[in-house]
Structures are given as C-alpha cells and as structure tokens.
Amino acid sequence: MDIQTEFKKIFGGLPEKIFRAPGLVNLLGEHTDYNAGFVLPMAIDRAVLIAARRRADRVVRMIARDFDHARSEFSLDAITRDDAHAWSNYVRGVAAMLHARGYNLPGVDLLIRGDVPRGSGLSSSAALEVCAATMFAAIAQLDISKIEIAQVCQRAENEFVGVQCGIMDQFASARARADHALLIDCRDLTHELVALPRGAVIVVCDTMKRRGLVASEYNTRRAECEHAARLLGAPSLRDVSREEIARRENELPPVIARRARHVITENARVLDAVIAARQNDLAAFGRGMNESHASLRDDFAVSCAELDAMVEIARGQRGCFGARLTGAGFGGCTVNLVAEDSVEEFCAQVAREYASRVSVAPQIYACRAADGAGEIFD
C-alpha cells in the first residue's frame, strides 16, 4: 500500500506532505568525523519516509509501520522520552533540539516507514532524524539550512538519545547528491561532491551480526583519540601528520598510539581516494579501502570475525577492487567496490561463500548513490 493510502486509512484524511531521507554508506574515512577529520559517505537508495499532516493542537502523534504500527505521542510543551518506543526518541529529540534553538513547531500526525536496514551501520537512525527535521522545517516553514538540520539532528542523537556520534551520518543524509559521494571536512563542515568512479558499483554486504558493543566501545575510542591528541599537544588528531605520528609514536602508550595512527592515516586515505576517484583509478580507490580495513582491524580494533570473513570472501572474487567494514564496526556491513560487469556474480558468490562459512545468510545490496533528504512530490 502506498504511504498516502496507508496514512488515510490510519488518520482518516490525506497527508499534506511526504518526506524522504536516505540511509548511507561510508566509502572511506571511519572514526575520523569526531576527530575533526575527513569522511567520504554517499546516500543509498534506501530511505525513511514520513507522511505528515498539521494538527490544530500541540500534539505530535506518530505511527511506525515497521514496528507493527506502534504508536507514540507527545506534547510539544513537554517533550519527554518514550523508552518503550525507542524509535520515537529520534523524532522527539529533533523536536526538542529545534525547540531549544527557538523554532516554533505545530502539532502533526505522522506515519513513518522505511527500508533502511536497522542496526547494520547504514544509518537508519540518522535517516529518521533528518527526515523528521526536514518535515518539521517544511511544515513550520522554517528558514533553516541543510547544515543546521544536520547539526540539530546530531545534537538530538548526542543529547536526547545519548549516543556520542559524530556528524557524518546526519550531514550526508541531509546533503548528499545522486551519483556522487560527499567529501566532508568535519572541522568546518565544508564539503564537496565527488563523482563516483565510472565502471564500478558500490555493493553493501550485511554480515547480519548486530552491533552489540557499539555504544560503549565507540565512546571508549573517542576518549582514546582525545587522549592521543592531548599527549601530542594537538587540538585534534586532524592536526597531526603521518610523518609526525611515525616519529613520535613511542611517546604514547602503545594502544593510544595505534588509535592515533589509524585516524591520521585514514584522513590521508580519504584525500588520496578523492584524487583516485577524479582520475577514475578504480584500483587505487580499492587499495585505499583495503588499507582502511586493515587499519580498522589492527590499529583501531573495531572489526570482528564476521566482518573479516566478509571482507576476505569479497576480495577473493573477480572484479572486486576493494572491501572494508563500514560504519562504527563490531558487526553490521562491509562496503565493496566491484566492477560493473562482475556485480551479479559477486553478489551470488559472496552470499554463497559467507553462508557456508558463517552459517548465516547475508543480505547483499548493489547501491546507487541517491539524493539527500527532501519533500517528495508526485
């Protein structure tokens, strides 16, 4: 059933507007965003949709189709959490942060649904936040930029949901463009579109291992990176060069040195990959992805057996230029750069080999780079 019809069935009238915000996959630049570094994500052709209609009062009423049509509602005059419906906290958090910035919001009826896999590192929560912010901005006719939307959503996640994520996911979901990746400098949020190299396809492989440890380990890694920057006397790891860390590594405790080395070399890999993309050098781009995985596994220690198995299987296939874990790690997905004419065989063969090695059937998606969030007009 399309979202208009479903909305009408539930709320007894058509929605005023429909919004969409995509999930995303990060091609390179992992655990660099909260170190003021570089990232290179692209939006994927899977998204969260919200159908919305303004109400006369100050109530936000939400129905989530993908959670058995669960329902949660709150008053804009007292925005509280609803941990029985954790999904609703993303919308609540966005409303609370818009409110904190002085924006005045009307009550709305919302039907939420989507096809971004959850808990697998494709940023379904950022997509929901950005979709909610885009919806509130349009319904309330706010004068607000895409960058501010991303900042509001990141704050919602940091302060309301309680996850200390960087800004990459929200920024990319708000600002991405079809057929392009987005190079973001997370220090000042300047960004550039980077055309994806021709002749290859981005394939996402979901290990189906859900990311259990992610919140506590993520926060530990953040603290270790900040510790490294302090010991090196730098404002952030972004300000330390590859040469400097190679020279000064032994001034740091060994674990801290490894974390720093990952972030610093990863920033350089992002910039090298942008050059490779511009020269359509698929082999060089893929090499950067492979090196990133090794660095995330050995120095940053955020991989796991399933991710390593998926990467190894992918690299054994014809036409695979590069493979690495994507997102925070500890489970979730890998991202792969695969020659166009090998994609079908790649997907079938990786699915077969992974299922026989790990005894779990993976999900595999060949992705197109999609546009960032916006209203859907039909």
For 247, residues 6+ apart whose C-beta sits below 8 A from its C-beta are none
- How is 196-212 classified by DSSP, letter by letter? PPTTEEEEEEE-----S
Mapping DSSP to helix (H, G, I), strand (E, B) and coil, where does residue 175 land?
helix
Question: Residue 308's CB: how many other CB atoms inside 10 A?
Answer: 15
Which residues make up the interface to ligand GLA (CB under 6 A)? 30-31, 33-34, 165-166, 168-169, 327-328
Nearest CB to ligand GLA, comparing residues 217 and 345: 217
For 220, residues 6+ apart whose C-beta sits below 8 A from its C-beta are none
What is the C-alpha separation between 340 and 344, in angstroms, rounded? 9
Nearest CB to ligand GLA, comparing residues 164 and 280: 164
Nearest CB to ligand GLA, comparing residues 169 and 224: 169
Biggest CA-to-CA distance, the chain: 67
State in angstroms the smallest separation of the CB of 266 from ligand GLA. Answer: 9
Q: What type of residue is 176? A: A
Which residues are the active-site residues?
169
Nearest CB to ligand GLA, comparing residues 109 and 169: 169
Structure tokens at 102: 């002085």
CA 110 to chain CA mean position, Å: 23
Strand-pair partners of 24: 43
8 Å CB contact between 69 and 112: no
Nearest CB to ligand GLA, comparing residues 30 and 306: 30
